[in-house]
């Protein structure tokens, strides 16, 4: 087959031709015939349209294939009415009411597996999915993850449903043509077009793993959970947020990349839960000043500022002062980007880190592991005649710290609760206080405290140091 120059728009015509040929039962499996995806992957075929015929090409063939896999997601939740007692006196106690919300979703498996945003289904008592051919189904939540703002549903049906394929990870480029499909403002399924405006946006702050594809394809309320697709009709991202002061589209929309979408869907179908890996390295974005101090020609990568003993980073041989340049062959520009790339791997796999150490580029295989410790450690109550009596304490660990929002690297002993009327209550301890020192001795674990308390029943003066809201406080407690 003779190769010819093909613009991005011309891919739609090739897609139409392929569909027509398939309908005529013509064998197109010749190894010499490039597929649409192969053609688009070849940069030499990407050209600007240069004639009237090319400008009149249409996205319709791509939309016909992709649109049936994009659904409307209706969620219903029960909320309690909050009314002033004055009104209740005259109108009676108001009971709970039903509150509905609308979003979009994408069928990614013909068995009825749907991916959408977590905020679309959060707190839902009932879920209903409506296909673009107006068929309606009930759905159940397989997995909902607040950190990634993704949720996976299963449509309750035995019939096969149209599904959208995932795009190959890392193939999206700035300037690529994309289509956004969803249900903005509840008006019905809508398709908008645009380009990939930027990649690796980490300043959005919509989820804990902020790493978004930015697009100028119009995205509005109701598009959340809908599809962002490429010219191959494959899913490159799930539309999640917009930048807007008015609530409407201002040409800046954000989509969660397909790498994270696939990870969450795989976790829902295999593990039933999404366990986030923990690198165990504190990373810092390389600024211009840091680059100059390290002798770099320009700011790039993420600097390893600290290593947690025994964590994955330490096991792989990462060191303080290393600069992470790339993860799994994708360049890293900052700390959020590095966290995102590492988080797209499943527990038990290995991630390939390219680092710069003493001017030399080194590649390390870093195991993907969970944070050490227990997310819900057992509490221990302090008893006896001492000013700490009545404290319920737990030992900090990366797993627990992540669960409650502490610094993952923080160690030591923290107060979880105080028994009312106890000595600790009298002396003003508060939940969240971290015990740093007792009787002039540094505290690392609960056993340290209990050892110091042992045999001190007659002691009158108790010097102690705690950390409260990030500030150290020293006191001498008198019994």
Question: Which of 119, 207, 322, 351 is an active site residue?
Answer: 119
Question: Which of 75, 197, 224, 234 is an active site residue?
Answer: 224
Residue 403 phi, psi (nearest 5): -65, -40
Nearest partner of 166 among 235, 266, 65, judged by Cα: 235
Q: What is the DSSP string of 166-178?
A: BPPTT---TT-EE
Q: Angle at Cα 150 formed by Cα 281 and Cα 166, nearest 5°? A: 95
Nearest partner of 178 among 225, 237, 219, 229, judged by Cα: 229
Question: Which of 109, 145, 149, 433 is an active site residue?
Answer: 149
- The answer to whether residue 119 is catalytic is yes
- The answer to whether residue 297 is catalytic is no
Q: Largest Cα–Cα distance in the chain?
A: 96
Task: Please report which residue ranges of 207-282 form alpha helices under DSSP H.
Answer: 258-270
What is the b/e burial string over 243-259, where b = at least 16 CB atoms within 10 angstroms of the residue's CB? eeeeeebeebbbbbbbb
Tally of CA atoms within 13 A in the half-sphere of 431 that contains its CB: 8
Q: Angle at Cα 311 formed by Cα 308 and Cα 313, nearest 5°? A: 85
Q: What is the DSSP string of 34-71?
A: --HHHHHH-GGG-----SHHHHT--SHHHHHHHGGGEE
Q: Check residue 298 and report its DSSP letter.
A: S
What is the b/e burial string over 417-437, where b = at least 16 CB atoms within 10 angstroms of the residue's CB? bbeeebbbeebebeeebbbbb
Cβ atoms within 10 Å, residue 188:
12
Structure tokens at 334: 């900052």
CB 371 within 8 A of CB 444: no
- The answer to whether residue 58 is catalytic is no
Task: Please report which residue ranges of 367-474 form alpha helices under DSSP H.
Answer: 398-404, 423-426, 446-453
Tell me the catalytic residues. 119, 149, 224
């Amino acid at each position: 087959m003779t190769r010819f120059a093909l613009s991005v728009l011309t891919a739609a015509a090739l897609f139409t031709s392929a569909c027509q040929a398939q309908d005529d039962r013509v064998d197109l499996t010749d190894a010499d015939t490039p597929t649409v995806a192969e053609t688009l992957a070849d940069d030499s075929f990407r050209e600007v349209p240069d004639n009237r015929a090319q400008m009149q090409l249409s996205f319709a063939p791509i939309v016909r294939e992709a649109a049936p896999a994009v659904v409307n997601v209706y969620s219903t939740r029960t909320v309690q009415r909050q009314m002033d007692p004055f009104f209740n006196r005259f109108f009676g106690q108001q009971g709970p009411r039903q509150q509905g919300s609308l979003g979009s979703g994408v069928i990614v498996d013909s068995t009825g597996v749907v991916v959408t945003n977590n905020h679309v289904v959060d707190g839902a008592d009932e879920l209903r999915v409506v296909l673009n051919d107006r068929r309606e189904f009930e759905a159940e939540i397989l997995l909902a993850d607040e950190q990634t703002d993704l949720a996976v549903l299963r449509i309750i049906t035995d019939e096969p449903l149209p599904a959208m394929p995932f795009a190959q990870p890392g193939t999206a480029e700035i300037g690529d043509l994309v289509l956004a499909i969803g249900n903005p403002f509840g008006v019905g399924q809508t398709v908008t077009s645009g380009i990939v405006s930027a990649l690796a946006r980490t300043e959005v702050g919509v989820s804990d793993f902020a790493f978004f594809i930015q697009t100028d394809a119009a995205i509005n309320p109701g598009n959340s959970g809908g599809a962002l697709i490429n010219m191959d009709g494959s899913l490159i991202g799930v539309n999640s947020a917009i930048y807007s002061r008015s609530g409407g589209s201002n040409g800046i929309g954000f989509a969660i990349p397909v790498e994270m979408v696939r990870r969450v869907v795989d976790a829902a179908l295999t593990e039933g839960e999404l366990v986030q890996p923990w690198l165990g390295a504190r990373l810092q974005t390389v600024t211009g000043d840091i680059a100059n101090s390290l002798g770099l020609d320009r700011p790039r990568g993420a600097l390893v500022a600290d290593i947690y003993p025994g964590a994955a980073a330490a096991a792989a041989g990462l060191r303080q002062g290393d600069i992470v340049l790339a993860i799994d062959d994708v360049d890293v520009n900052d700390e959020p980007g590095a966290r995102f790339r590492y988080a797209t791997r499943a527990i038990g796999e290995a991630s390939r880190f390219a680092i710069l150490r003493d001017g030399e580029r080194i590649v390390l295989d870093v195991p993907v592991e969970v944070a050490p410790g227990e997310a819900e450690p057992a509490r221990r109550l302090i008893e006896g005649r001492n000013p700490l009596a009545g404290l319920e304490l737990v030992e900090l660990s990366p797993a627990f710290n992540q669960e409650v929002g502490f610094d993952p690297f923080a160690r030591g002993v923290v107060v979880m609760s105080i028994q009312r009327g106890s000595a600790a209550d009298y002396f003003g301890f508060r939940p969240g206080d971290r015990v740093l020192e007792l009787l002039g001795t540094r505290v690392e674990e609960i056993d340290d405290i209990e050892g110091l308390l042992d045999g001190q029943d007659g002691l009158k003066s108790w010097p102690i140091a705690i950390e409260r809201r990030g500030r150290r406080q020293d006191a001498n407690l008198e019994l």
